Amino acid sequence: MDSQHTEANLNNATTLLNHATTLKLHTGNLVNRSRLKKKCPSSPSEELQDCIRATLSDWFSTTPSAPQELPDTLDCSIPQAADAITPEEREELKVSVKLFLCQSDESSIRAAVEMACQMLAVSQLDSVIIAPPGLPEGDSQTLAHLQPAWEELEALVRTQKIAAIGTSDLDKDLLEQLYIWAQVKPSSNQVNLASCCVMPPDLTAFAKEFDIQLLTHNDPKELMSVATFQEALQESTQDLSVADWRLEWVLRYSIIVKSRGIIKAKGYLVNAQKASP
């Protein structure tokens, strides 16, 4: 593409982003994205940053001229990179999701699940694990922190948008409190192996007794900081004021072939908001 063309596209993209108040981004299937295979990201945070950059740069390079009516919501997804599942193959596949909430807004859980169903062309997600927003230094997670998000997930189970729901980084006491209180019981709990190389025996015993699957993960406490997200935005455009942009949530999905246990597709959906001045 010639440089004039590229510059025009970048200017259009900057105009669109400066006007928009919501940014929705879908990275498409990372299993197929060759540019990400060249170097292996060292962490989930680095992978996400690479993905946001690559998706924005692909999207901006194809951005036609800015429309007369500038939209408030920008949908940055590359149609050919989508991972839509056909009805014929749905039975063979398991769609697993981990939802990272960056802000304490439970209404975003429904929005994230609906966007995932729409992007992947499914009516139901097989499992959703929730990672609540980080707490101020010195505070620890309590049942009261978890309840609003869990109630939102339970409502989505009742309307059959989600089949099973799980938690992340709960110790035995908190998992037990959630289990006793919840109407829809947690089916899994993810444990970060960086914080414990061996599963705590009390947690293992409790999970076994109540049929809760213990899974491991290596996600950091904060998947992406405000500064890192703004940096990824800034790198993709010119003269863009990024200071007001904040991540609302990040959803990571994996589409697994049940019979073979292999990952057919994985990707991220990202939702960000611009704070009103």
What tens digit of pLDDT does each residue of 193-203 get? 776 667 889 99
Q: Which of 19-23, 112-116, 123-127 has the lowest mean pLDDT?
A: 19-23
What is the structure's pLDDT at 1?
Answer: 41
What are the pLDDT digits (tens) for 4-19?
Answer: 446 666 677 778 888 8
What are the pLDDT digits (tens) for 65-81?
Answer: 666 678 888 888 876 66
- pTM for the structure as a whole: 0.90
What is the structure's pLDDT at 238?
Answer: 62
Put the strands of the sheet holding 125-131 in their side by side order: 73-77, 22-26, 262-274, 245-257, 93-101, 125-131, 162-168, 188-192, 213-217
Interatomic CA distance for residues 140 and 134, integer angstroms: 9
Return the top range by mean pLDDT from 13-22, 65-74, 123-132, 226-235: 123-132
CB 36, CB 17: distance < 8 Å: no
Interatomic CA distance for residues 212 and 191, integer angstroms: 12
Q: pLDDT category, 2, cuts 50, 70, 90?
A: very low
